[in-house]
Amino acid sequence: MVRNCNECINARPNPPKSVLTPWKWPQRQWTRVHCDFLGPYKNKTFLIIVDATTKWLEVFQVNSMTAQTVITKLSELIARFGIPRTITTDNAKCFNGDEFQSYCKTLGIRHLTGAPFHPASYGFAESGKYCTLNHK
């Protein structure tokens, strides 16, 4: 009966939000990085990569959101900073495909993904997107 009562449905409290478990703080810089795409923004697409420890933000304007694009840009950063232990991304096809998974496995990188449709769980890359958008 309560399930069919509009007044009851509107009066009931919302279910509690699940508590996010915070990421363990990395001991050194460049041990965990967060990656995400931004765009299209003003007809441009960007790859955002953020170091979890220092919050160092790398922003690349890219032509496509493919695994090869991610691999190329990550390889540039690896040449400068070394191989991260962990990469955190959303569940986009380019990150979950065989090509990117193989790249991570070859380099010994642990690839973690956040909860689908929950951008806050993707870590600092999501914050980096807003920082990039608001930069003038």
Does a structural domain hold residue 1?
A: no
Does a structural domain hold residue 62?
A: yes
Integer Cα distance of 55 and 32 in angstroms: 10
Does a structural domain hold residue 21?
A: no
At 98, which CATH number? 3.30.420.10
Residue 130 main-chain phi, psi, to 5 deg: -70, -35
Domain carrying residue 101: 26-134
Mean pLDDT, range 73-96, rounded to an integer? 95
Task: Dig out the tokens for 54 from the structure.
Answer: 């220092």
Closest CA to 31 of 89, 109, 102: 109
pLDDT in tens, 85-118: 999 998 999 999 999 999 999 999 999 987 655 5
Least confident among 8-12, 45-49, 87-91 = 8-12
In the chain, how many domains are there?
A: 1
Does a structural domain hold residue 2?
A: no
**Residue 104: its H or E element:** helix 98-107
CB 117 within 8 A of CB 91: no
Residue 52 has pLDDT above 50, yes or no: yes
pTM above 0.85, yes or no: no
